[in-house]
């Protein structure tokens, strides 16, 4: 049966669901897309006339929303109705790491996936293709299938004439935040995992509207799910590899940028994802590594799981050593001092701070008694407050420091003993050293954990420089 897809429902209007559906709507004008979410304020933000208030900041997204919203792209909280009318349902809900119970700290919490599957099972009508889009541990499709099969079974055993039937596909996203629209419009590949050829073809036909057939791969369900985890694990591994070498460069006088250039010119290695930094953040890398580790342990593959655990260990170590170096350079104490933080997002071009290395680095520095002046061009005060004002800081003794939110590089530098670049925002690339040196307290220090600033002129103005992966 060649199922024609006229209506799509996407459960979850987050970082993945919102942009993905926007691009499908933009490329397939004859498909009606309803993005639904439990979170009313998030849906209100997606429907806001002021497009700068969209809940997700992605270059190119607002233009698409402007073009398609209200035409074939709709955002609402009407979950039941939109599930019922859909030919295809994408599950794009959050899957954070479990905080308690079996697999706590490692396995993904699938409660939102499960509740979505239950909603689909209850409200869907006729033949519905269910597509898992969230990043999930291998074999999650099984959970979804089992819940949906109950419906299939009930339909067969009762004679209600509802004829519910489901097929489950895995279609992992490979979106990199800040570049999501480009990744969706020009993907390296689209992966569709599944068992039913007609369903795979139905999804494939959607992508064929703008993607070449050679870039669309179909596999079995488990290969598709595992490929997603493996791709992210490999990417994270490259970052931990270059970060580990950065520490060796600092000891030996080598320059990590030069090493990365030389290594990356080997076409077998390639030059991408070799940028040194304060450690990887974001919602995917750590979570996917932890999922991989959990599943290896589950199958008794201890050596494999310890191998991937090391990628996380190096990442934590890299992040921790930055605050240690800052304390050491500032004469072993931060008490009574101020430090300007340049960048809080986990990378540039996003307002997302999930797993941002800035969170732990700032917490460590605050515990040393420093006052931080945090500036990020896109991250809001409220967001930083949630990330930093944990109980430990709130209930801290007077000897512990604090933080304030500032609106410019100058305010971050004002009376500061040091400035630390944690996110590679474009505006940090060229700094007005003369102005900054006048604002800062002497002796002043500048720490670049992303190797993006041009510091040649800085020492002329008496600023001490430390750069990651360089011997100073």
- Contact 73/62 with Cβ under 8 angstroms? no
Q: Among residue numbers 25 through 84, which ones bind ligand ADP (CB under 6 A)? A: 36-39, 42, 79
Which residue number, 78 or 309, has a Cβ lying nearer to ligand ADP? 78
Quick check: helix, strand or coil at residue 119?
helix
Residue 467 phi, psi dihedral angles, 5° rounding: -125, 140
Residue 214 DSSP code: G
CA gap 274, 265 in Å, rounded? 11
Nearer to ligand ADP, 17 or 357 (CB): 17
Sheet holding 190-193, edge to edge: 73-76, 32-36, 7-11, 88-91, 127-132, 165-170, 190-193, 216-219
CB of residue 56 to ligand UDX, shortest distance in Å: 12
Torsion angle (degrees, nearest 10) of CA 56, 29, 116, 159: 170
Instruction: Considering the complex, state which of residue 12 and residue 401 has its C-beta at the smaller distance from ligand ADP.
Output: 12
Report how far residue 58's alpha carbon sits from residue 404's, in angstroms, rounded to the nearest whole number. Answer: 26
DSSP label of 283: S
**Tokens at residue 73, please?**
């792209």
Q: Tell me if 281 contacts ligand ADP by CB under 6 A.
A: no
Query: Residue 277 touches which of ligand ADP, ligand UDX, none (CB < 5 to 8 A by kind)?
Result: ligand UDX
Q: Which does 282 bind (CB under 5 to 8 A by kind): ligand UDX, ligand ADP, none?
A: ligand UDX
Q: Which residues contact 33 (CB under 8 A, 6 or more apart)?
A: 7, 8, 9, 10, 21, 24, 25, 72, 73, 74
Name the catalytic one among 9, 28, 284, 296: 284
* Burial (CB count within 10 angstroms: exposed 0-12, middle 13-18, buried 19+), residue 336: exposed
Whole-number minimum distance, CB 275 to ligand UDX, in Å?
3
**Interface residue with ligand ADP, options 8, 9, 11, 239 (CB under 6 A):** 11
Q: Which is nearer to ligand ADP, 110 or 439 (CB)?
A: 110
Q: Please report how close the Cβ of residue 257 comes to ligand UDX at its closest, in angstroms.
A: 12
Mark whether 284 is an active-site residue: yes
Site residues, ligand UDX (CB under 6 A): 173-177, 232, 235, 239, 273-275, 277, 280-282, 284-285, 346-347
> Could you tell which of ligand ADP, ligand UDX, none binds residue 239, using a CB distance below 5 to 8 A set by kind?
ligand UDX
Cα separation of 193 and 199, whole Å?
Answer: 10
**Contact between residue 421 and residue 427 where contact means Cβ atoms under 8 Å apart:** no
Considering only residues 117 to 136 of the shown chain, the ones binding ligand ADP according to CB under 6 A are 119, 134
Q: Does 115 bind ligand ADP (CB under 6 A)?
A: yes
- Of all residues in this chain, which one has the CB nearest to ligand UDX in the complex? 282
Site track 229-268 with ligand ADP (rule: CB under 6 A), x = hit: ----------------------------------------
Other CB atoms within 10 A of residue 168 CB = 25
* Interaxial angle between packed helices 17-27 and 61-68, expressed in degrees from 0 to 180 and rounded to the nearest 10: 60
Rounded to a whole number of angstroms, the minimum distance from the CB of residue 157 to ligand ADP is 27
Told to check if 112 binds ligand ADP by CB under 6 A, we report yes
Q: Which is nearer to ligand ADP, 283 or 383 (CB)?
A: 283
**Footprint of ligand ADP on this chain (CB under 6 A)?**
11-17, 36-39, 42, 79, 92-94, 112, 115-116, 119, 134, 283
Q: Would you please indicate which residues are annotated as catalytic (active-site) residues?
A: 284
């Amino acid at each position: 049966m060649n199922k024609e897809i006229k209506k799509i429902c996407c459960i979850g209007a987050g970082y993945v669901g919102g942009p993905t559906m926007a691009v499908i709507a933009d490329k397939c004008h004859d498909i009606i897309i309803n993005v639904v979410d439990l979170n009313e304020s998030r849906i209100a933000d997606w429907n806001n006339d002021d497009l700068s208030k969209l809940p997700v900041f992605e270059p190119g997204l607002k233009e698409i929303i402007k073009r398609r919203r209200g035409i074939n792209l709709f955002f609402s909280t009407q979950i039941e109705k939109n599930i019922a009318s859909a030919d295809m349902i994408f599950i794009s809900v959050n899957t954070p790491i479990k905080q308690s119970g079996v697999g706590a700290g490692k396995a993904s919490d699938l409660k939102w996936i499960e509740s979505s599957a239950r909603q689909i099972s209850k409200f869907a009508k006729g033949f519905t293709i269910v597509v898992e889009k969230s990043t999930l541990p291998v074999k999650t499709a099984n959970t979804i299938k089992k819940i949906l099969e109950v419906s299939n079974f009930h339909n067969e055993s009762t004679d209600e004439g509802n004829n519910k039937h489901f097929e489950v596909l895995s279609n992992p996203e490979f979106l990199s935040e800040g570049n999501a629209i480009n990744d969706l419009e020009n993907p390296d590949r689209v992966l569709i995992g599944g068992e039913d050829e007609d369903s795979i073809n139905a999804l494939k036909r959607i992508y064929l509207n703008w993607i070449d057939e050679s870039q669309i791969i179909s596999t079995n369900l488990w290969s598709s799910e595992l490929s997603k985890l493996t791709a992210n694990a490999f990417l994270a591994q490259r970052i931990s590899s270059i970060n580990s070498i950065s520490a060796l460069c600092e000891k030996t006088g080598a320059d990590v940028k030069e090493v990365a250039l030389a290594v990356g010119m080997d076409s077998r290695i390639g030059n991408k994802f070799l940028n040194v930094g304060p450690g990887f953040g974001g919602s995917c890398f750590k979570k996917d590594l932890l999922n991989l580790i959990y599943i290896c342990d589950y199958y008794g593959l201890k050596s494999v799981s310890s191998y991937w655990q090391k990628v996380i260990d190096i990442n934590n170590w890299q992040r921790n050593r930055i605050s240690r170096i800052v304390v050491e350079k500032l004469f072993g104490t931060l008490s009574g001092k101020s430090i300007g933080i340049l960048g809080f997002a986990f990378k540039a071009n996003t307002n997302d701070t999930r797993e941002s290395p800035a969170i732990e680095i700032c917490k460590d520095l605050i515990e040393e008694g420093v006052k931080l002046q945090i500036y990020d061009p896109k991250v809001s005060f409220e967001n930083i407050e949630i990330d930093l004002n944990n109980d430990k800081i709130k209930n801290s003794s007077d000897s512990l420091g604090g933080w304030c939110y500032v609106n410019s590089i100058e305010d971050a530098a004002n009376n500061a003993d040091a400035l630390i670049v944690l996110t590679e925002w474009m505006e940090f690339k060229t700094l007005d050293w003369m102005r900054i040196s006048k604002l800062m307290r002497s002796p002043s220090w500048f720490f670049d954990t992303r190797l993006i600033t041009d510091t040649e002129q800085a020492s002329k103005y008496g600023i001490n420089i430390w750069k990651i992966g360089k011997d100073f």
